[in-house]
């Protein structure tokens, strides 16, 4: 499943990333393989925004990160909350 994901980290901050395999990427985050989140575990997947392809996902990821707005991130979480049914469609 390709898209942008939003994590809530132990320190209360959000992490925004993109992937073409959500299960694999979450495994990498949860096991400390991603330097950006390694020291702020545990993480909680709050939202997943499906995208056509990885190029579209990366563009959206950059747009969200450039905004530097917690309100914008929270609006994406409200609009695209992660659900377990999404996780199993990989």
Measured distance CA(4)–CA(61) in Å, rounded:
6
pTM: 0.90
Length of the chain: 90
Here the tokens at position 67 are: 């905004």
* pLDDT tens by residue, 9-63: 999 999 999 999 999 999 999 999 999 999 999 999 999 999 999 999 999 999 9
Measured distance CA(64)–CA(33) in Å, rounded:
23
Signed CA dihedral, 6, 4, 47, 62: sign only: positive
């Amino acid at each position: 499943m390709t898209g942008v994901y939003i994590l809530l980290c132990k320190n209360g901050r959000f992490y925004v990333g993109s992937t073409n395999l959500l299960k694999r990427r979450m495994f990498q985050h949860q096991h400390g393989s991603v330097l950006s989140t390694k020291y702020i575990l545990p993480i909680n997947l709050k939202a997943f925004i499906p995208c056509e392809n990885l190029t579209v996902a990366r563009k959206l990821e950059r747009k969200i990160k450039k905004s530097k707005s917690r309100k914008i991130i929270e609006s994406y979480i409200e609009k695209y909350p992660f659900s377990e049914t999404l996780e199993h469609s990989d």
